[in-house]
């Protein structure tokens, strides 16, 4: 399955002013289990859903070890995140150039609540490392632009809880 990453303005509805407001509530809980040396953090994402008129099917969370921006803040050409999670399909997908390989996530890897309500909430379990995240919405016709990128360092040996609220705006040009 190939994923279209839209670099320009998004058209989820031809002539509709499209506004997406995402509120990420990140709760990173690190813990070490004596039974598992590679335990990672649990990260919860929560956001304000798109309006019903956008006919959103679901949201995708893209992430990887590298930013889509260079050190000067310019967008890298031909950039693709290493992974994405399709929340409605409960799929984790790895992206290798033009090839995408997906697998179904188990309940101990992903849990979503209220996915089609006004404030969806999804928790990913076992993440680790320095990761960059961006969210998109999609409907039957297209996928939105990425939200602004969020960086999170997840240390599996840590025991602290980090909470951060970030308001992200994405506006479609007329």
Instruction: Tell me the pTM.
Output: 0.71
What is residue 127's predicted lDDT score, i.e. its pLDDT?
86
- Going from N- to C-terminal start, the domains of the chain cover 19-171
Q: Which residue has the higher pLDDT, 27 or 67?
A: 67
Distances (CA, A) of 56 to 84, 105, 107, 117, 156: 17, 21, 23, 11, 34
What is residue 161's predicted lDDT score, i.e. its pLDDT?
36
Sheet containing strand 83-86, edge to edge, reads: 99-104, 91-96, 83-86, 58-64, 129-138, 150-154
Maximum Cα interatomic distance, the chain, rounded to a whole number of Å: 56
Fold of 19-171: Immunoglobulin-like (2.60.40)
Q: pLDDT per residue over 44-101, tens digit each?
A: 888 888 999 999 999 999 999 999 999 999 999 989 999 999 999 999 999 988 899 9
Distance CA 125, CA 123 (A): 6
**What percent of the chain has pLDDT above 70?**
66
Q: pLDDT per residue over 99-127, tens digit each?
A: 999 999 999 999 999 998 999 999 998 88
Joined tokens for residue 94 = 């790895």
Distance CA 170, CA 112 (A): 23
Distance CA 13, CA 53 (A): 8
């Amino acid at each position: 399955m190939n994923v279209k990453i839209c670099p320009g303005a998004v058209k989820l509805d031809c002539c509709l002013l499209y506004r997406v407001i995402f509120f990420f509530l990140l709760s990173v809980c690190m813990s070490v289990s004596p039974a598992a040396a590679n335990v990672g953090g649990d990260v919860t994402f929560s956001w304000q859903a798109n309006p019903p008129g956008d006919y959103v099917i679901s949201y995708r969370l893209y992430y990887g070890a590298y930013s889509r921006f260079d050190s000067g803040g310019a967008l890298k050409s031909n950039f693709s995140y290493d992974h994405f999670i399709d929340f409605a399909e409960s799929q984790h997908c790895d992206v290798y150039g033009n090839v995408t390989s997906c697998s179904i996530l188990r309940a101990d890897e992903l849990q979503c609540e209220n996915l089609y309500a006004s404030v969806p909430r999804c928790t990913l379990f076992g993440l680790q490392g320095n990761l960059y995240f961006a969210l998109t919405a999609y409907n039957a016709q297209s996928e939105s632009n990425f939200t602004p990128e969020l960086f999170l360092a997840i240390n599996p040996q840590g025991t602290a809880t980090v909470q951060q609220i970030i308001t992200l705006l994405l506006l479609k040009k007329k």
